[in-house]
Amino acid sequence: MSEQSGAQPVQYELALSAEEAGNGTRKILPRNGKRLEVNIPPGVITGSTVKLTNALQLTDGITGDILIRVRVKEEPASQETFASETTPAGVTEVTDNSFEAEVIKAAQPAVVDFWAPWCGPCKMMAPVMENLAEIYKGKVKFCKINVDENPLAARRFNAMSIPMLLFFQNGQAVDQSVGAIPQNQIQAKLDAWLGK
């Protein structure tokens, strides 16, 4: 190792189906606009760690490893799912490229969940967003954006702590909340916002 100490390892969690864990698989890890191929060996179990030695050099331009902790799911994993559950029903996944069209120019108010796959509290917000999308169907658009894959939006809206919900009306960010918050608090905010 060089005299310069590298960055702390970055950790991700990867959810695999039992079949993928048993047979091994290949996944793509998106980070900072780059895509790393991750080869998962056969026979991994929940809690196994796959180390990508010095992968931060490729994605962040700094010395450091990426550690991927495996979690074996009971339900089948979708082909493109990496380090997260699938996008909740009724919630639109947006990117740096689609943010303008999906959120800023949305015909109705929008709530955007800034999240990352490695963030535990972010995972707690997924079912909340799904429930709210059902309750406010046709009145409020619910979106989520992965801050690791979409650094421009994260910087633009100063998403330093996640999960962060940003509330948009007429293309403007009018309110925000940071951290995992209960559904009833978000509903109270939305009801006041919608004049219920």
Tokens representing 138 are 């046709």
Distance CA 116, CA 83 (A): 9
Catalytic site positions: 119, 122
Q: Where are the beta strands (DSSP E) in 48-193?
A: 49-52, 66-73, 91-93, 110-115, 141-146, 164-169, 172-178
Collapsed DSSP state (helix, strand, coil) of residue 132? helix
- DSSP, res 156: H
Distance CA 147, CA 158 (A): 11
Element (H, E) at 154: helix 151-156
Bridging pattern class, strands 141-146 and 110-115? parallel
Q: How far apart are the first and last CA of the chain?
A: 61
Distance CA 52, CA 65 (A): 6
